[in-house]
Amino acid sequence: MRPAGRSETDSLYFDYPHFPFVRPPELEGETVRHRVAIVGAGPVGVTAALELARHGIESVVLDDKATVNDGSRAICISRHSFEILQQLGVDAPFEEKGLGWTQGRTYFRDREIYRFRMPHSDQERYYPMYNLQQQYIEQFLIDKAHASGLVEIRWQSALTDIHQDEEGVTLQVSTPEGEYRLQCDYLLAADGGRSRIRESLGLSLHGQAYEGRYVIADVRLKSDFPTERRAFFHSQALPDATILVHKQPDDIWRIDYQLGPDEDPEQAVEEASIREKVSLIIREVMHESDDWELEWWSLYKAYTLALNDYRHDRVLFIGDSAHLVPIFGVRGLNNGLADAANAGWKLAWVLKGLAPDRLLDSYSPERRGATLDVFANAGKSTRFMTPPTRGYRLMRNAALALAFHNDYASGFANPRQVTPYTYAESPLTLADDPAFEAGPVPGAPLINRRLGDDDFLLDHLGEGFSLLLFSEDGRVEPTLLRGVEALQARGVDITLLRVSRSPGDEETLVDVDGSLFAGYGAEPGSAYLARPDRHVAARWKRLDPADLEATLNAALKTALGGD
């Protein structure tokens, strides 16, 4: 919502693009068969299109709008998501525009009681978190999609019905110039929390709603306060409301505040109510005295809802269409992007004939597992942010008061920000080699390590699978090299990354300070096999060159859906 007199796209800082409707060949009576259709050109849908394009697969994206999202909405992008964006070759504008941050503060009764720091070191290319308005996120992804040549985005095209059978999926599409049928092999449903596809297939989300509503409001305000997450509990100005404050680019500040149980949500989102509360928070809680302007606001309620299965034959649900999670911990967008990367590479592998269709069966357990992991913590953090009862409020305030002087209670004030999920239980993940004492376990994403001034391990990953081979000087046993070449000759997209302790040839990645070997718990002869989405499929403390081909073949077979 925006102040009176301003339209949904009349922003103080963002020029909304207008995407024209372009007549598709189907409207001219041509029969076109698309391999992949994606419904929803939000961040999740377009990320999936870019992941498919990265593997050479074309897709068509439908969206009923003529522009990007109306408000800033999801504003926190995690490091893991940035590593996805890097693989898509679109990280540069995000890094340039986004505001990186590493820490946050918790206040109780207007006193800072706790400061949390997210894991960060000079071994990382990216900050643990970046703030960036969703319009920019969408704009940067759409720009990349337009430039890719493999993604066709059809604006002002609304899905009205869907039918699938063994042959494929047929969509009924409504446009300003008439209706048409679109046919595709697979469909990615990225059409958000109110998914029309979900409804058309007769599916519904299961889970629960939590007490308490929040207003999320953006204001333009000049302030020198650094980019951090601030949480205010029991402030003098608004004792019953939890308040969250985030800085965004363009001098935009996000203020989230909780509505009391007696407040009428309809009245709370009226402009006069928003202005009154926001003004109070800016002056009395943030202690800012400069003028401010109201930009945009929305109402939010916490849910933990998910589909029972994210795959329905030829339809994969990605992002909010599959799951709704509470905002605390910034898991909505970040998990959606991980869905897109997971579904994207698997679909590409199946369509290229490199994996059986059942590889797609692993999408649901892996990504639904990530959702259920969020749910397990969501109840706790939501009850902390928004105590549903007197008992929870009393305990929450007691924990915060103790946390001021006592470290043992500070864990309660930690916002438990999103961390990447480990696919340990996945059918694609091999059992761990017990000889390892450190490093990412099978199912976990690869960790980054610095190799030079502007040079990091993850910069060197291939498009497909990557085999990290640790050695003394970068030399690889000829039998091992032949084994990898034999795989490549069979069409397996696998990139060999040779990590060495001492400098070898030009292509060797030299571990200058030992932190790469240490981070991976590796010794010369160790190997990690990583999937296209950077998650470890298998690792060996000592990979026997003589068994390499058989060992790798078996691991790849498992990682691609098994026999």
Partner 1 sequence: MTAPTLPFDDLEKVYEHLAITLDALPEADESHFLAQLALALAHRVPDIDQVMAAIEEARQGATLD
Q: Which of 108, 116, 349, 528 binds partner 1 (CB under 8 A)?
A: 108
Minimum distance, C-beta of residue 379 to partner 1, in the bound complex (Å)? 9
| 117 binds partner 1, rule: CB under 8 A | no
Minimum distance, C-beta of residue 26 to partner 1, in the bound complex (Å)? 55
Burial of 513 (0-12, 13-18, 19+ CB in 10 A): exposed
Query: Structure tokens of 304?
Result: 């933990």
Minimum distance, C-beta of residue 387 to partner 1, in the bound complex (Å)? 8
Q: Which of 23, 111, 163, 206 binds partner 1 (CB under 8 A)?
A: 111
| 404 binds partner 1, rule: CB under 8 A | yes
| 554 binds partner 1, rule: CB under 8 A | no
Whole-angstrom distance, CA of residue 242 vs CA of residue 435: 47
> 126 vs 232, which CB is nearer to partner 1?
232
Span near partner 1 by CB under 8 A; candidates 203-211, 225-233, 241-249, 390-398: 390-398
Minimum distance, C-beta of residue 452 to partner 1, in the bound complex (Å)? 39
Q: Which of 401, 441, 481, 492 binds partner 1 (CB under 8 A)?
A: 401
Q: Which of 266, 408, 434, 491 binds partner 1 (CB under 8 A)?
A: 408
| 210 binds partner 1, rule: CB under 8 A | no
| 402 binds partner 1, rule: CB under 8 A | yes
| 392 binds partner 1, rule: CB under 8 A | yes
Whole-angstrom distance, CA of residue 547 vs CA of residue 101: 45
Fill in the DSSP letter of residue 263: S
**Residues in contact with 89: Cβ distance below 8 Å, sequence separation at least 6, in sequence order:** 54, 144
SS3 for 323-376 is EECCCCCCCHHHHHHHHHHHHHHHHHHHHCCCCCHHHHHHHHHHHHHHHHHHHH
Minimum distance, C-beta of residue 36 to partner 1, in the bound complex (Å)? 43
Span near partner 1 by CB under 8 A; candidates 107-115, 159-167, 345-353, 423-431: 107-115
Span near partner 1 by CB under 8 A; candidates 32-40, 192-200, 330-338, 400-408: 400-408
Minimum distance, C-beta of residue 326 to partner 1, in the bound complex (Å)? 17
| 391 binds partner 1, rule: CB under 8 A | yes
Fill in the DSSP letter of residue 64: S
Fill in the DSSP letter of residue 270: S
| 405 binds partner 1, rule: CB under 8 A | yes
Minimum distance, C-beta of residue 453 to partner 1, in the bound complex (Å)? 39
Fill in the DSSP letter of residue 70: S
| 109 binds partner 1, rule: CB under 8 A | yes
Residue 77, Cβ neighbours under 10 Å: how many?
27
| 411 binds partner 1, rule: CB under 8 A | yes
**Residues in contact with 546: Cβ distance below 8 Å, sequence separation at least 6, in sequence order:** 479
**Residues in contact with 356: Cβ distance below 8 Å, sequence separation at least 6, in sequence order:** 350, 560, 561
Q: 364 to 383, contacts with partner 1 by CB under 8 A? A: 380, 383
Q: Which of 267, 279, 389, 502 binds partner 1 (CB under 8 A)?
A: 389
Whole-angstrom distance, CA of residue 426 vs CA of residue 189: 22
| 395 binds partner 1, rule: CB under 8 A | yes
Strands 33-39 and 59-62: parallel
DSSP 149-217: SSEEEETT-EEEEEEE-SS-EEEEEEETTEEEEEEEEEEEE---TT-HHHHHTT---EEEEEEEEEEEE
Query: Structure tokens of 290?
Result: 């400069």
| 18 binds partner 1, rule: CB under 8 A | no
Q: At 141, give phi and psi (nearest 5°).
A: -70, -40
**Residues in contact with 63: Cβ distance below 8 Å, sequence separation at least 6, in sequence order:** 39, 40, 41, 42, 45, 153, 154, 155, 156, 157
Minimum distance, C-beta of residue 155 to partner 1, in the bound complex (Å)? 48
| 300 binds partner 1, rule: CB under 8 A | no
Residues in binding contact with partner 1, number by CB under 8 A:
23
Span near partner 1 by CB under 8 A; candidates 64-72, 153-161, 225-233, 396-404: 396-404
Strands 243-248 and 455-456: unpaired
Which residues of this protein are in contact with partner 1, per CB under 8 A? 108-109, 111, 380, 383, 387, 389-392, 394-395, 398-399, 401-402, 404-406, 408-409, 411-412
